[in-house]
Amino acid sequence: MADRGKIPSSLRAGAVLLLVLAALALGAPLLATDLPWIARDADGLSFPAFSAMLTATSGTLPDGAESPILAAPIPHGPNRVDLRSTLVPPMSGHWLGTDDLGRDLAARVVHGARVSLGVGFLSAAFALLVGVPLGAWAGYRRGWADFVVSRAVETVLSFPTLLLVLAILAVASGWLARLSDVTRLALVLGLTGWMPIARYLRAEFLKLRESDMVSAARAVGGSDLRIAWRHILPSAMAPVLVTAAFAVGAAIGMEAALSFLGLGVRPPHATWGVLLADSREQIDRAWWLALFPGVALFGAVLACNLVGEGLRDLLDPRSGRR
Amino acid sequence: MLRVLGRRIATGILTLFLVTLFVFLLIHLSPGTPLAAAMESEGLTQVTPQIRAELERLYHLDRPLHVQYALWLRGLAQGDLGRSFHDRRPVAEKIRERLGISVAINGLALLCMVLLAVPLGALSAWRPGSWLDRYSSWITYAAYAIPVFWAALMLQIVFAVRLGWLPLAGLDSDGWESMGMVQRTADRLWHLILPVACLSLGGLAYLSRFVRATLLENTAAETALAARARGLSSLAVMLRHGFRQAAVPMLTLAGLLLPAVVSGSVIVENIFAIPGLGRLFVDAAFQRDLPVLMALTLLSGAATLLGILAADLTYAIVDPRIRRG
C-alpha cells in the first residue's frame, strides 16, 4: 500500500517549518517577555521569566529584581506599551520594529502564533470529531444514512465558507458568548470544515466494506462497530490525515481573515489577523507592521499545505507526482 | 439530460432553503431576541416596551417561528426580502444598488484567472521538468497559500504607497462625476486593478496547476503519442490534443472556484473600501441584521449553485457520454 522507502521533501520541509512555528508558539512566554531569564536580587540569582511561566502569572516586572544578567531573546512583552519608541523600524533595538504604541512586533508575532496554531489544530480536531463518525456511518450503512450525510456535505460545500462562518458567528453570538475567542473560532471553523473529511472517509468505507478482509471479519462474527472501528478505519485513515493537514492550514487562514475583519479574536490580543488589521492605519509609515505578521501567517499555511501534499505522496504514491 | 438537469435544480433549491432555514433557526433559537441583539449593536438598550412591541409586530417577530419563516418565504415569492433592521430600508433595494459592482469584480477576477492560468499552465506543461516549469510550480504553489488580505496589503504598500502608480482604495477619483464617458471607464478600471489582482491570485495558482496536470495527462495519452510519431511537434500536439481534452474540465473548475472567489471578494471589498455586497454582508454581520444576512446568504448560495449548474451543463454539452448517463 504505502511506499515507505522515501519521505517526500515537501513533507520534510513542511514538518520542519511547522515544528519551528509550534516551538515559537509554545515557548512564547519564555522567548518574548519583559522579565529577564537570569537576574540578581537581594539573595542571589533568580530566574524571573521561568518562575513567571511556571506560576502562570503575567509578566510584570517585580520591583525586587535589581540587575538583570541575561534577558530574553525578545526582551519585550507582547502588550508592553512604550510611547517613547513608537514606530521604530526593524533591527534597531527591536528585532522587527514597533507599532504606533511602541509595542514590540516580534513579541506580538511570536505570541500570535499561539492563537493561530491553537485555532488551527483545535478546529481540525473538531472537524475530525464530526467528520469521521459521519463519514464512516454513511459509507458503512449506505441507504438513507448516506443520503442524509451526502446532502449535508453538499449543502455546506456549495456555500462560500467565509460567508457561512461570518453568518454563524454573527447569528449565534448568544450561544457562543461564553466561550473564549480561541474555542469559539475553533468550534465554528470545525463545524463548517468537517465535510471534506466525511466525504473522503465515506468513499474509503464504500470501497473497503466490500473487501475480503471485511467478509472474513464478518464470517467470524465481528459486530458492525468492531468491523468499522478495528478493520476498516485503520485502512481508511490515509486520505483523512491528508485532508486534516489541509484543514489546519485553511483554519489558520480563516482565523486570520476573521480577526482581520474584526469578527474573530479581538484586540488587544495579538494575533496575526489583528496585527495585520492594525497595520492598515500605519500603511504609509510602517511597512514592517504589514510584512512580518503576514510572513508568519503565510509560512504557517504553506507548512500545512506542504505536510498535506507530502503525506498524500507518502501514503498514496499513485495520486502524487502529476 | 433534461431529467438530470431537473434533478440538479430541484436539489439545488432544496439546498438553498435548508441553509436559509438553518440561519433562521440559529438566530431565533440562540439566547436573546434578534431585535434586541440588533438594537444592542447600535447602542439602543433603553427602549420602552411599547416601542419594542411595535417593532416586533412590524418585523413579525411576535408570531410563532414557523409562521415567521413562512412569511419570509411568501415575501420572497413576491420579490420582497423584508426590511433591514439597521436602517429600515427594503433589503432588495440595498442589494440592488450594490449588486453591479460585486458582479463586476467577481466576473473580472474569474476572467483574469482563466485567461492567465491557461497560458501559464501550458508553458509549464510544454517542457515538464524544465527550469521554467519548476519555478512556476513553486510560485503557483506559494501563491496558493498567500492569504488574500495580506496580498492586498502588500500590493497596496508597493504599488500605492511606495510607487504611487495605483490608487490605494475606493472606486473612483475625485471629480469622477465631471469626467467624460471614456475617462470614467478608464478611471474605474484603474481603481479595479489591485482588487481584481488580489482576488484572482489564489484561484489563478490553483487553476494553472490543474491546467498543467490535465495537459500532461492528455499529451501522454496514446492518441497524442501517435501524433508525435506522425511527426507533429510537441507544441502542436499539446495544442491540438491536449487542449481539446482539457478545455472542459478547466471550465468546470472555473465554475467550482466561484465560492472561493465570493469569499475572497468579501475581504477584498473591505480592504479596498468598495461599496459592494461583501461590505454589506460584513456590516450586516456586525449589526446582526437578520433580513440582510438571510437575503445575502440566499443570494450567494444561488450564485454558487448556478455556477456549478453552468459547469455541469457545459460538461454535458461538450461530452456526449455524460448527456446519456
pLDDT in tens, B77-125: 888 888 888 888 888 888 988 888 888 898 899 888 888 888 888 888 8
Sheet holding A38-41, edge to edge: A44-46, A38-41, A67-70
Q: Report all structural domains of chain A as residue ranges with CATH numbers, in order of start.
A: 37-71 (no CATH), 106-315 (1.10.3720.10)
The rounded distance, in Å, linking the Cα atoms of B13 and B142 is: 37
Residue B226 shares a structural domain with residue B190 = yes
Please indicate, yes or no, if residue B88 is contained in any of the structural domains.
no
Residue B130 shares a structural domain with residue B212 = yes
Closest CB to B145 among A261, A291, A301:
A301
Q: Residues A250, A212: contact at Cβ < 8 Å? A: no
Please indicate, yes or no, if residue B85 is contained in any of the structural domains.
no
Looking at residues A34-63, what average pLDDT do you find? Answer: 69
What distance in Å separates residue A178's CA from the closest CA in chain B? Answer: 12
Kindly determine whether residue A158 and residue B31, on different chains, have CB atoms separated by under 8 Å: no
The rounded distance, in Å, linking the Cα atoms of A106 and A60 is: 18
Spatial CA neighbour of B268 closest among B153, B146, B163: B153
> What pLDDT does A247 receive?
92
Q: Which three cell numbers mark B245?
A: 481534452
Kindly determine whether residue A253 and residue B147, on different chains, have CB atoms separated by under 8 Å: yes
Residue B23 shares a structural domain with residue B136 = no
DSSP for residue B90 = B
Long-range contacts of A146-153 (CB under 8 A, 24+ apart): A146/A202, A149/A198, A149/A202, A150/A202, A151/B11, A151/B15, A152/A195, A153/A195, A153/A198, A153/A199
Domain edge (last residue) among B14, B45, B77:
B77
Q: Residue A13 pLDDT more than 50?
A: yes
pLDDT in tens, A172-196: 777 777 788 888 899 999 988 898 8
Kindly determine whether residue B11 and residue A154, on different chains, have CB atoms separated by under 8 Å: yes
**Mean pLDDT taken over chain A:** 83
Please indicate, yes or no, if residue B256 is contained in any of the structural domains.
yes
The radius of gyration computed from the CA coordinates of chain A, to the nearest angstrom, equals: 24
Q: Residues B202, B146: contact at Cβ < 8 Å? A: yes
Please indicate, yes or no, if residue B86 is contained in any of the structural domains.
no
More confident residue, A6 or A273: A273
More confident residue, A119 or B114: A119
pLDDT in tens, B272-282: 888 989 899 99
Amino acid at A81: V
The radius of gyration computed from the CA coordinates of chain B, to the nearest angstrom, equals: 24
Please indicate, yes or no, if residue B126 is contained in any of the structural domains.
yes
Q: Which residues in A lie closer than 8 A to residue B286 (C-beta atoms)?
A: 170, 262-263
Spatial CA neighbour of A188 closest among A243, A258, A137, A115: A258
Residue B235 shares a structural domain with residue B304 = yes
Kindly determine whether residue A159 and residue B259, on different chains, have CB atoms separated by under 8 Å: yes
What distance in Å separates residue A210's CA from the closest CA in chain B? Answer: 25
Please indicate, yes or no, if residue B223 is contained in any of the structural domains.
yes
Residue B17 shares a structural domain with residue B53 = yes
With cut-offs at 50, 70 and 90, classify the pLDDT of residue A321: very low
Q: Which residues in A lie closer than 8 A to residue B145 (C-beta atoms)?
A: 249, 298, 301-302, 305
Please indicate, yes or no, if residue B155 is contained in any of the structural domains.
yes
Residue B28 shares a structural domain with residue B146 = no
The rounded distance, in Å, linking the Cα atoms of B38 and A155 is: 28
With cut-offs at 50, 70 and 90, classify the pLDDT of residue A252: very high
The rounded distance, in Å, linking the Cα atoms of B34 and B25 is: 11
B128 touches chain A (CB under 8 A): no
Beta strand pairing call for A44-46 and A38-41: antiparallel
Residue A121 CA, chain-centre distance (Å), reads 4
Spatial CA neighbour of A257 closest among A156, A160, A191: A160
Q: Residue A242 pLDDT more than 50?
A: yes
Looking at residues A273-292, what average pLDDT do you find? Answer: 87
Task: Find the range with the poorest average confidence among A138-152, A238-252, A264-278, B173-187.
Answer: B173-187
**Whats the size of chain B, residue-wise?**
325
Q: What phi-psi label fits residue B314: left (phi over 0), alpha (psi between -120 and 50 degrees) or beta?
A: alpha
- A219's CB contacts (< 8 A; 6+ apart) are none
> What pLDDT does B306 receive?
81
Give the global pTM.
0.85
How would you class B97 by CB atoms within 10 Å of its CB: exposed for 0-12, middle for 13-18, buried for 19 or more?
A: exposed
Residue B302 shares a structural domain with residue B180 = yes
Spatial CA neighbour of A264 closest among A183, A201, A320, A321: A183
> What pLDDT does A309 receive?
87
With cut-offs at 50, 70 and 90, classify the pLDDT of residue B325: very low
Q: Residue B290 pLDDT more than 90?
A: no
Residue B177 shares a structural domain with residue B243 = yes
Residue B35 shares a structural domain with residue B113 = no
The rounded distance, in Å, linking the Cα atoms of A314 and A7 is: 7
Burial letters for A287-311: b for 16+ Cβ neighbours within 10 Å, e otherwise?
A: bbbbbbbbebbbbbbbbbbbbbbbb
Chain A, nearest residue to B303 by Cα: A159
The CATH number assigned to the domain holding B284 equals: 1.10.3720.10
pLDDT in tens, B118-177: 888 888 887 777 888 888 888 888 888 898 889 999 999 889 888 888 888 877 777 777
Maximal C-alpha separation, chain B = 87
- Total number of domains in chain B: 2
> What pLDDT does B324 receive?
57
Task: Find the range with the poorest average confidence among A39-43, A94-98, A187-191.
Answer: A39-43
What distance in Å separates residue A283's CA from the closest CA in chain B? Answer: 7
Q: Residues B263, B318: contact at Cβ < 8 Å? A: no
Q: Would you tell me the crossing angle of helices A287-315 and A233-261 to the nearest 10 degrees?
A: 170
Q: Residues A311, A245: contact at Cβ < 8 Å? A: yes
The rounded distance, in Å, linking the Cα atoms of B30 and B45 is: 19
> What pLDDT does A300 receive?
94
Task: Find the range with the poorest average confidence among A2-16, A266-280, B196-210.
Answer: A2-16
SS (H, E, C) A118-148: HHHHHHHHHHHHHHHHHHHHHHHHCHHHHHH
Residue B30 shares a structural domain with residue B104 = no
> What pLDDT does B320 receive?
67
SS (H, E, C) chain A: CCCCCCCCHHHHHHHHHHHHHHHHHHHHHHHECCCCCEEEECCEEECHHHHHHHCCCCCCCCCCCCEEEECCCECCCCCCCCCCCCCCCCCCCCCCCECCCCCEHHHHHHHHHHHHHHHHHHHHHHHHHHHHHHHHHHHHHCHHHHHHHHHHHHHHHCCCHHHHHHHHHHHCHHHHCCCCHHHHHHHHHHHCCCHHHHHHHHHHHHHHCCCHHHHHHHHCCCCHHHHHHHHHHHHHHHHHHHHHHHHHHHHHHHHHHHHHHCCCCCCCCCCHHHHHHHHHHHCCCCHHHHHHHHHHHHHHHHHHHHHHHHHHHHHCCCCCCC
Residue matched to cell numbers 448560495: B301
Q: Assess whether the previous peptide bond of A89 is cis (omega < 30° from 0).
A: no
Residue B73 shares a structural domain with residue B108 = no
Q: Residues B305, A158: contact at Cβ < 8 Å? A: yes
What distance in Å separates residue A301's CA from the closest CA in chain B? Answer: 6
Residue matched to cell numbers 471607464: B185
Domain of B295 in residue numbering reads as 98-324
Q: Could you give the count of Cα atoms lying within 13 Å of B292 in the half-sphere of its Cβ? A: 28
The Cβ of residue B72 has, within 10 Å, a number of other Cβ atoms equal to 22
Closest CB to B282 among A166, A294, A298:
A166
The rounded distance, in Å, linking the Cα atoms of B132 and B122 is: 11
Does this complex have an ipTM over 0.90? Answer: no
The rounded distance, in Å, linking the Cα atoms of A307 and B109 is: 29
Closest CB to B142 among A151, A287, A302:
A302
What distance in Å separates residue B266's CA from the closest CA in chain A? Answer: 8
Residue B104 shares a structural domain with residue B213 = yes
Domain edge (last residue) among B43, B77, B111:
B77
Please indicate, yes or no, if residue B9 is contained in any of the structural domains.
yes
Portion 59-98 of B in contact with A at CB < 8 A: none
**Mean pLDDT taken over chain B:** 81
Spatial CA neighbour of B209 closest among B314, B307, B110, B138: B138
